[in-house]
Amino acid sequence: MFGAFIALSSFLTKQNDPLKESMERGSNLYAAHCQSCHMAEGAGIPSVFPPLAKSDYLEKNVEASILIVLNGGSEPMTVNGVEYNGMMTALDLTDQEVADVMNYIKNSWGNKAPMVKPQDVRNLR
């Protein structure tokens, strides 16, 4: 009886935390698709791959960041005062996957931001 109560309450807690669930999926996507360039802790490689941890670009340019994950990017950009002019290839992710990976990077390594929903991604396609 007590066990069932614990199981039910942890089920409810999970259901009630959509950001946490999205971040868990995003964490796996990050390891598979992003970590090779942006590194496990989001630190990037100075002047080659920009950081995501405490990135002023990611914090301020919400839509442009989603667009980069959707379409890739090769425009010069400045992140935390350092210039990057590399090339990020487009990744073939669904709206849900883009939202999940955004929620992971925007709420990890000291970052904090409101939740991105699949509909926000769809609106930018």
Residues in contact with ligand HEC by CB under 6 A are 33-34, 36-38, 49-52, 55, 57-58, 65, 68-69, 73-77, 79, 84-89, 91, 101, 105
The nearest distance, CB 11 to ligand HEC, in angstroms, is 30
Burial 26-56 (b: 16+ CB within 10 A, else e): bbebbeebbeeebeeebebeeeebbbbbebe
The size of the chain, in residues, is: 125
Comparison of 21 and 91: residue with beta carbon closer to ligand HEC: 91
Taking a C-beta distance cutoff of 8 angstroms, is the pair 109, 49 a contact? no
The nearest distance, CB 1 to ligand HEC, in angstroms, is 44
The nearest distance, CB 14 to ligand HEC, in angstroms, is 24
The nearest distance, CB 118 to ligand HEC, in angstroms, is 15
What is the distance between the alpha carbons of residues 107 and 66, in angstroms, rounded to a whole number?
Answer: 14
Comparison of 28 and 36: residue with beta carbon closer to ligand HEC: 36
